[in-house]
Amino acid sequence: MRLLVVNPNTTASMTEKIGAAARAVAGASTEVLAVSPADGPVSIEGYVDEAFSVPGLLAEIRKHPADAYIVACFDDTGLDAARCVTDAPVIGIGEAAFHLASLLAGKFSVVTTLSRSIPAIEHNLLKYGLDRRCARVRAAEVPVLDLEDPESDAAGRIAAEIERAKAEDRCEAIVLGCAGMADLAAALSARHGLPVVDGVAAAVKLAESLVALGLKTSKLGGYAAPRAKRYDGRFRDDAP
**Subset of 46-105 contacting a second copy (CB under 8 A):** 46-52, 54-56, 58, 78, 80-81, 83-85, 89, 91, 95, 99-100, 102-105
Q: What CA–CA distance (Å, rounded) separates 76 from 200?
A: 11
Nearer to a second copy, 140 or 197 (CB): 197
Task: Determine the size of the site formed for a second copy (CB under 8 A).
Answer: 98
To a second copy, the closest distance from the beta carbon of 160 in angstroms equals: 18
- Cα-based distances in Å from 204 to 6, 90, 107, 125, 240: 12, 10, 23, 20, 27
> Of residues 113-152, which lie at the interface with a second copy (CB under 8 A)?
115-120, 122-123, 126-133, 143
Q: What CA–CA distance (Å, rounded) separates 225 from 20?
A: 31
To a second copy, the closest distance from the beta carbon of 129 in angstroms equals: 4
> Of residues 210-229, which lie at the interface with a second copy (CB under 8 A)?
210, 212-218, 220-224, 226-227, 229
To a second copy, the closest distance from the beta carbon of 151 in angstroms equals: 19
- Cα-based distances in Å from 230 to 57, 185, 238: 20, 45, 9
CA angle 126/193/157 to nearest 5° reads 70
209 binds a second copy (CB under 8 A): yes
Residues 180-193: b if buried by 16+ CB within 10 A, e if exposed = bbbbbbeebbeeee
To a second copy, the closest distance from the beta carbon of 38 in angstroms equals: 4
> Of residues 14-53, which lie at the interface with a second copy (CB under 8 A)?
25, 27, 37-43, 45-52
Asked whether the beta carbons of 196 and 178 are under 8 A apart, the reply is: no
